[in-house]
Amino acid sequence: MSRNQLNIRVSDELEELIDKKRIELASTLKVIPTRSDVVRFALESYLGVSVKQTDADRRTTEGKAISAKKKSADY
């Protein structure tokens, strides 16, 4: 699955609510999710879909692999 970036602007009030939700979710997730994570969770709930766990794993792995390739290319 390809991934695309979506940039949004939110009010100060909505930003505060997202941050409160991050802290609330931290107790069950055992980590503080990013604002992007919270927006993703909200969209999944609103749209009635779920991102596969493999997709979440792929995002982390690819980022590290790309970073490692860049570092080795620099030397």
- CA geometry: angle at 19 spanning 18 and 22, to 5°? 90
Distance CA 51, CA 31 (A): 19
2 is a domain residue: no
36 is a domain residue: yes
Q: Is 0.75 surpassed by the pTM of this model?
A: no
pLDDT for residue 46: 93
67 is a domain residue: yes
49 is a domain residue: yes
23 is a domain residue: yes
pLDDT for residue 41: 93
7 is a domain residue: no
33 is a domain residue: yes
Confidence band for 2, pLDDT divided at 50, 70 and 90? confident
**Where in the sequence is the domain holding 21, given as residue range(s)?**
12-74
- 8-22, pLDDT tens digit by residue? 999 999 999 999 999
Domain count, the chain: 1
pLDDT for residue 26: 96
